[in-house]
């Protein structure tokens, strides 16, 4: 909602109000962001069945071709294959050019996967998190805000609460959570999860894991689920429904108007000290969507 001032916001760090050091409003008309928000479409060829990769490409193509191919924000396409992350096109506002690239791969989904190997659930998780980390690392070098749109349900949540993880495994997951959270924050990147098909039993299961992980003994694989990361990054979760183009468009509308706030964090007393972050708006019916926490260092 445009028209808000810094006095309308209260920023809470671990339950304590913090002074807002800087404030800026981007409404897309009066005040535009410079550089503009970059939208990243991620083509997931690892977690989707072969038969659904073509559908994913078609939906991205339809979105890019809207409005005669004139994109409101620069868009880049990132391919996630079992060989890693491949950025095949620099950010462009020419949707027709980007759609043409996807069209070439649309009829050959086997060609974009590169390997016929089947992966187990743990490998799906590890490959996906590694890819997301690489993307965040590369985007940290670029100025401005980024919106990563990940189509599909993502990787398996691995939610088996009867399994007791070893301390070594929990340390691994905690270190991964801290690194990825930090990388996304440094890249100024939020994740938008869009999906299709019918809701399943696990559609809302992610809600049990959105609370930030403050210590090693609380770390579990579901804390790295796609929808969990989207929530914690200040992004959105849309679907599942079959109008993926509308979902993507709704995500990109968020790039037109937003607010940027900064504050001075309290020095950490230990390494990887988790801080819960909340932004409240002093207007009835309004809620802020932002990073839900961060890991501070001494």
The two structure tokens encoding residue 23: 């404030």
Residue 23 has pLDDT above 70, yes or no: yes
**Mean pLDDT within 194-214:** 87
The confidence score (pLDDT) of residue 162 equals 74
Q: How far apart are CA 227 and CA 225, in angstroms?
A: 6
Whether 128 and 209 share a structural domain: yes
Q: How far apart are CA 175 and CA 182, in angstroms?
A: 11
Residues 240 and 198 sit within 8 Å (Cβ to Cβ): yes
Whether 186 and 70 share a structural domain: yes
Q: Could you tell me which residues come within 8 angstroms of residue 189 by beta carbon, excluding any fewer than 6 positions away?
A: 135, 136, 139, 145, 146, 147, 148, 233
Burial of 227 (0-12, 13-18, 19+ CB in 10 A): buried
Whether 298 and 193 share a structural domain: no
Whether 19 and 45 share a structural domain: no
Pairing status of strand 189-194 against strand 146-151: parallel
What's 298's domain CATH number?
2.60.40
Burial of 163 (0-12, 13-18, 19+ CB in 10 A): exposed
Query: Residue 1: enclosing H or E segment and its boundaries?
Result: none
Share of the chain above pLDDT 90, in %: 74
The confidence score (pLDDT) of residue 1 equals 75
Residue 227 has pLDDT above 80, yes or no: yes
Please write the tens of the pLDDT for every residue from 147-200.
999 999 899 999 877 778 999 999 999 999 999 999 999 999 999 999 998 776
Q: Is 131 left (phi over 0), alpha (psi -120 to 50) or beta?
A: alpha
Question: Has this prediction a pTM greater than 0.75?
Answer: yes
Whether 23 and 38 share a structural domain: no
92 bridge partner residues:
75
Please write the tens of the pLDDT for every residue from 79-106.
998 888 988 778 999 999 999 989 887 7
Whether 12 and 67 share a structural domain: no
Q: How far apart are CA 118 and CA 129, in angstroms?
A: 17
Whether 204 and 286 share a structural domain: no
Whether 105 and 203 share a structural domain: yes
What's 203's domain CATH number?
3.40.50.410
Whether 69 and 148 share a structural domain: yes
Residues 222 and 158 sit within 8 Å (Cβ to Cβ): yes
The confidence score (pLDDT) of residue 108 equals 62
The confidence score (pLDDT) of residue 28 equals 72
Higher pLDDT, 146 or 153: 146
Average pLDDT of every residue of the chain:
91
Please write the tens of the pLDDT for every residue from 100-138.
989 887 766 555 655 667 889 999 999 999 999 999 999
44 bridge partner residues:
80
The confidence score (pLDDT) of residue 159 equals 87
151 bridge partner residues:
194
The two structure tokens encoding residue 225: 């689920």
Residue among 143, 145, 221 nearest 176 (CA): 221
Number of neighbouring beta carbons within 10 Å of residue 67: 9
The confidence score (pLDDT) of residue 119 equals 87
Whether 53 and 194 share a structural domain: yes
Which residue segment(s) compose the domain that 251 sits in?
A: 34-256
Give residue for tokens 């559908």. 55
**Mean pLDDT within 214-229:** 96
Whether 91 and 191 share a structural domain: yes
The confidence score (pLDDT) of residue 27 equals 82
Please write the tens of the pLDDT for every residue from 62-80.
999 999 999 999 999 999 9
Higher pLDDT, 160 or 219: 219
Whether 292 and 159 share a structural domain: no
Question: Domains in the chain: how many in total?
Answer: 2
Q: How far apart are CA 55 and CA 2, in angstroms?
A: 36
The confidence score (pLDDT) of residue 106 equals 72
The confidence score (pLDDT) of residue 118 equals 80
């Amino acid at each position: 909602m445009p028209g808000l001032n810094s006095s309308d916001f209260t920023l809470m760090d671990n339950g304590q109000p913090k002074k807002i050091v800087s404030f800026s409003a981007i409404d897309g008309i009066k005040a535009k962001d410079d550089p503009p928000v970059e939208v990243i479409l991620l083509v997931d060829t690892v977690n989707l069945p072969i038969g659904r990769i073509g559908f994913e490409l078609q939906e991205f193509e339809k979105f890019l071709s809207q409005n005669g191919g004139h994109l409101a924000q620069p868009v880049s396409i990132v391919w996630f294959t079992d060989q890693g992350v491949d950025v095949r096109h620099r950010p462009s506002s020419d949707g027709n050019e980007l759609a043409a690239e996807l069209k070439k791969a649309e009829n050959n989904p086997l060609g974009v996967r590169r390997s016929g190997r089947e992966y187990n659930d743990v490998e799906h998780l590890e490959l996906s998190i590694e890819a997301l980390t690489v993307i965040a690392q590369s985007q940290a070098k670029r100025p401005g805000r980024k919106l990563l749109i990940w189509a599909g349900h993502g990787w398996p949540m691995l939610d088996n609460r009867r399994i007791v993880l070893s301390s070594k495994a929990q340390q691994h997951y905690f270190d991964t959570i801290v690194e990825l959270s930090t990388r996304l924050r440094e890249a100024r990147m939020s994740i938008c999860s869009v999906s299709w098909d019918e809701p399943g039993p696990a559609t809302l299961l992610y809600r049990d894991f959105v609370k930030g992980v403050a210590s090693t003994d609380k770390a579990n694989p579901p804390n790295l689920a796609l929808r969990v990361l989207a929530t914690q990054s200040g992004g959105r979760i849309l679907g599942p429904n079959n109008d993926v183009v509308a979902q993507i468009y709704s995500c990109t509308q968020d790039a037109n108007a937003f607010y940027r706030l900064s504050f001075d964090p309290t020095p950490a007393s230990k390494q990887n000290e988790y801080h819960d972050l909340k932004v409240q708006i002093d207007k009835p019916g309004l809620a802020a969507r932002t990073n839900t926490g961060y890991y501070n260092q001494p």
